Amino acid sequence: MCGIAGKVSAQGGVDPALLERMCAAIEHRGPDSRGTFVEPGVGLGIQRLRVIDLETGDQPIQNEDGSVVVVLNGEIYNYRELRDELEGRGHRFSTRSDTEVLVHLYEDRGDDCVEALRGMFAFAIWDRRRRRLLLARDRLGKKPLFYAERNGELWFASEARAILQDPAIPRDMDPAAIDAFLRLQYVPSPASAFRALRKLPPAHRLVWEDGRSKISRYWQLSMVPDDSYGSEEEMKERIRAELLEATRLRLRSDVPLGAFLSGGVDSSAVVAAMAKTSSTPVKTFSIGFDVASFDETEHAREVAELFGTEHEEFRVQPEAVSVLPRLVWHYGEPFGDQAAIPTMYLAELTRRHVTVALTGDGGDENFAGYLHHQSALRFERLSILPPRVAGLAVPPLDTVGDGPRGDSFRSRARRTAHVVSAPTPAARYERILSHYYDSELADLYAPEFRAGLPSDSVAAHAIRDPYEASDAPETLGRALDADINSLLPGSFLVKVDIASMAHALEVRSPLLDHRFVEMAASLPASVKLDHGSSKRIFKDALRPWIPDHILDRPKQGFAVPVSDWLRGRLRDLPKDVLLDPRAVQRGIFRPEAVRRTIDRHESGREDLGKRIWLLIQLELWNQTFVDAPRSDPLALNV
């Protein structure tokens, strides 16, 4: 696990000092070593966290004759199998690292080398003979990759802050991306919060040559059910076998490893697979809260005892919001998932004990574990009501507003009207995932800011495009496909990657092994969400390993009581941040609308905590990045 950065230019040299600054900006991702490669027209940099081949695996790594150079962020889990294959074809290796397989695969297969990889990765390969750069990102988007392109030059890095070390790259925000953030709580690829930057989407390659770039997709998940399964017993056996294999590969490490454990189905499944695969006791780590409805530590302890793990816990208090400046700095773009707070602390705790942690990420996307998957089916049944008729209820319900809780009658009625009034199934699913309604943003936005937004939002494309492009034969499959292409890489994986790499912790996700994901996608929707029972086939597959009461307890999720915090000990935070003169002068929002939103939440009449949290994150990001002195390329460092 590492951070990579670099620049290529068709016009001349690359300043070695710039490359050093780019690496320094992401040193937290890989504090063990720094490596650079510089020659006319190219500079590659790497900050390495040593996990495999601690002695000879430092990067950049070259092939036998030095004609191919690579820097890698991530892990290639099937590197041993690939190495044996390559050595059989005459390739000579100088290290024991997983990274070196990339240069030899590129020699053999060119750009198609990426298709042989089983892992999480973002890498850059420089072909010195052809003066050609290949960038690639893993299939599910576990490892990030930003880039900027202008005037025949291209910059790339694991985090935006590295590219922003070059004063030539402006830090202006992209209003369309900001609008998408407020709707989705993240900025979806290929957009970036910075107008000058883009994100390479998951499962894509970028080839730069002669000052021009070309992007292509190399993998597409199919959601068509495989009718070769003879019975559900075969499905369950396949799930267990694939989980054990994916876990086995992720236990390859030359440093200590453990697992995040919430006590929920997915993390319990991974810990169970680790216990069955590992020859030593598993180390597990969990996070808790004093608010009982958000606390799962009791369940985590039970699972830890069941599998005899060495278990550690950490508790988060409202004072944890003092971590906000550091949180905003590390995420680099506005990021609204409140679970970033406990995830950051969990990563910090875990890194005290191990360098690698396995996690249960991916179970909900594979097997329909979220409430919004049930909502998609429920709203589909309600779609017999013409959208224009449903839309008649929107204005009066907007006037009344939400209820004091997210699950109150007023909140649910208003949400139903907004969703059912959507004109298409894809638009309906987009509204299910939205955190702000169009009418709310119309009221919040300052007129000039709103006038500068495109008519077709970035958020709409992020959800609707994969939903409509899916080959799934039914609604649930299309919803899962949309999640895997948008919500998963845009929000959930960003949350874990940034929080873990802030503490130089590598996180691996067996349930996001692409072969496991392909297997899950081939199962019929009816065995995933069965009469309101989420993840049914996955839970049934785990019953020989895990007791029923653990598998069947209600899902809690990894959230924080932000609405309570903003009415209690953090009551002053929204006004202090959002009504500060800097925020008002920014011209994004109407101050009176912001104040009204805060007052409605404080009074307890409506639960607007999550929406206020998004506004806070956006303003803090603007203060940290956009307002930073442009004359000082190191001003982003803390």
Go through the domains of the chain in sequence order and give each one's CATH number. Answer: 2-217 (3.60.20.10), 232-368+482-551 (3.40.50.620), 371-474 (no CATH), 562-626 (no CATH)
Residue among 609, 620, 637, 331 nearest 493 (CA) = 331
Closest C-alpha among 304, 338, 332, 299 to residue 318: 338
Angle at the Cα of 478 (from 419 to 407), degrees rounded to 5? Answer: 35
Cα dist. 397→372, 393, 402, 605 in Å?
21, 6, 8, 14
Coil vs helix vs strand at 57: coil
In the chain the first and final C-alpha atoms are separated, in Å, by: 22
Tell me the two tokens of residue 449.
Answer: 């800011």
Torsion of CA 12, 16, 19, 23, to 10 degrees: 170
Q: How far is CA 133 from CA 146, 203, 210, 215, 217, in A?
A: 15, 17, 10, 12, 16
Coil, strand or helix at 486: coil
Per-residue tokens: 60: 């950049």
Looking at 2, 173, 287, 304, which residue is catalytic? Answer: 2
- φ, ψ (nearest 5 deg) of residue 302: -65, -45
Fill in the DSSP letter of residue 406: T
Q: Which residue has the tokens 């956009």?
A: 626
The DSSP string of 540-573 is HHHTTTS-HHHHSSPP--S---HHHHHHTTTTTH
Strands 68-76 and 146-150: unpaired
In 440-465, which positions are buried (b, 16+ CB within 10 angstroms) versus exposed (e)?
bbebbbeeebbeeeeeebbbbbbbbe
Given the DSSP bridges, would you call strands 257-260 and 356-358 parallel, antiparallel or unpaired?
A: parallel
Q: How far apart are CA 638 and CA 325, in angstroms?
A: 9
Using one digit for the tens of pLDDT, what is the confidence trace for 100-117?
Answer: 999 999 999 999 999 999
Does residue 225 have a cis bond before it (omega within 30 degrees)?
no
Q: ∠ at Cα 411 (559, 437), nearest 5°?
A: 85
User: What per-residue confidence (pLDDT) applies to 293?
Assistant: 60
Report which of 461, 449, 445 is spatially closest to residue 174, judged by C-alpha positions. 449
Whether 260 contacts 359, CB under 8 Å: yes
In degrees and rounded to multiples of 5, residue 436 shows phi and psi of -125, 140
Per-residue confidence (pLDDT) for residue 638, from 0 to 100: 44
Strands 153-157 and 132-137: unpaired
pLDDT of residue 291: 63
Q: What is the DSSP letter of 194?
A: B
- Annotation says 2 is catalytic: yes
Q: Give pLDDT, residue 637.
A: 46
The structure tokens listed for 512 are 């996001």
Decide: 41 and 55 in contact? Cβ < 8 Å. Answer: no
The encoded tokens of residue 464 equal 């609707």
Give dist(CA 505, CA 495) in Å, integer.
Answer: 13
pLDDT for residue 294: 63
Helix (H) or strand (E) holding 172: none
Which ranges of the chain have pLDDT less than 70?
1, 290-295, 318-320, 557-558, 630-638
Count other Cβ atoms within 10 Å, centred on residue 73.
Answer: 33
Which residue bears the tokens 């793990």?
A: 309
